[in-house]
Amino acid sequence: MNAPEAKPARWAMWLPLVLFAGFVALFLSGLLRPGEREVRSAMIGKPLPEFDLPAAVADRPGLARADMVGSKPRLLNIFASWCVPCAAEAPVLDQLRQAGVEVHGVAIRDKREDLDRFFARYGNPFARVGADNVSAVQFALGSSGVPESFVIDARGTIRYQHIGEIRPEQVPMILARLKEAGQ
Amino acid sequence: MIRALCLLLAAALAMPALAQDKLPPAPYAYTQLADPAQEAKAHALMQTLRCLQCQGQSIADSDAPIAGDMRSQVRLRIQAGEDPEAIRAWLIERYGDYVSYKPELTGATWPLFAAPLVLVALAFALLRRRFGGKGA
């Protein structure tokens, strides 16, 4: 046999228990306070990708990248008639429109008659509405859901991404982001 | 009571269906590419891309419309001759590392790769101290 090893200190006996308690605490913190699950776009500060979408409804033209560029910042809204929060957001977008913001929409996987019904019911705040039936523009923007809004500056750079609907109390914040993009 | 609970559960499970579009799936969401080699390439890539909506699943496993659209885009790009890693890079450029399931050795992840090696080395050293020296 080897020479007897030094006896471990008494406190070492508690080490496994302390480790176990640590794991329990880690587990509980993860369980009670799950982390953020939103996937943020990595496109902020990069130029808006090239796209050209056909009109989604009869009374508004389609939307291309060129419509989003020049003279002032604009708001690009990713939405759908089948998305419940989008209905709540429509009047808020209209509020932004009345404040002088040019708001453009990209309708994700939507049907014309559903969109017509949606706009008749909740109002149409958009100057242009493009139809993105295969989520292509959504992927190009790094957007992962509906609704989402992007602030695009006059040179066509993506300046800010807002995930989820814009709530009424967030209107001043969005206006500030647009102003910031215009400087 | 149990019946009521079951009904409630069924209603809760049915809810997401309300928030779905009515468009048919994108062309290559559920259709394989004609060329089996290309399809194999596309499928291998799809298994390592995260669905953005149901984040525990790959786009190959998910039935979410957005995953179908992404599968279609992946297949079309593979068909056009694009390299799978270029498609992955394109998506990472937009969504960050989170969109890819493929493990990468980076500045933030190297401890994960190093930890097993360190532990094995440590175990080896401990065993040697205990039994070593006189040979087996």
Domains of chain B: which residue ranges? Answer: 27-104
Contact B69 A110 (CB under 8 A): no
Tens-digit pLDDT string for chain B (136 aa): 566 666 555 555 444 444 567 788 888 999 999 999 999 999 999 999 999 988 789 999 999 999 999 999 999 999 999 999 999 999 999 999 889 999 888 888 899 999 999 999 999 999 999 987 665 4
Task: Write down the pLDDT at residue B108.
Answer: 86
Q: Which domain holds residue A119?
A: 52-182
Residues on chain B bordering chain A, Cβ-to-Cβ distance under 8 angstroms: 18-23, 26-27, 52-53, 55, 65-66, 69-70, 72-73, 91-96, 98-99, 130
Q: What's the CATH number where A162 sits?
A: 3.40.30.10
Contact B66 A136 (CB under 8 A): no
Task: Write down the pLDDT at residue B10.
Answer: 56
ipTM of the complex: 0.81
Q: In whole angstroms, what is the distance from residue A84 CA to residue A137 CA?
A: 21
**Is the per-residue pLDDT at A54 higher than 50?**
yes
Q: In whole angstroms, what is the distance from residue A149 CA to residue A75 CA?
A: 7
> What share of chain A has pLDDT > 90, as a percent?
84
Give residue A128's Cα distance to chain centre. Answer: 19
Q: Is residue A32 part of a domain?
A: no
Domain count, chain A: 1
The C-alpha R_g of chain B, in whole angstroms, comes to 23
Q: Which of A42, A109, A114 sits opposite B95 (nearest CB)?
A: A42
The residue with tokens 């270029």 is B86
The beta strands (E) that lie in chain A are given as: 52-53, 63-64, 74-79, 103-108, 128-132, 148-152, 158-163
Q: Which amino acid is at A14?
A: W
Q: Is A145 at the interface with chain B, CB within 8 A?
A: yes
pTM value surpassing 0.90: no
Task: Write down the pLDDT at residue B1.
Answer: 58
Considering the domain B27-104, what is its CATH architecture? Orthogonal Bundle (1.10)
Tens-place pLDDT, residues A69-115: 989 999 999 999 999 999 999 999 999 999 999 999 999 999 999 99
Q: Is A110 at the interface with chain B, CB within 8 A?
A: yes
Q: Is residue A4 part of a domain?
A: no
Torsions phi, psi of A150, nearest 5? -125, 135
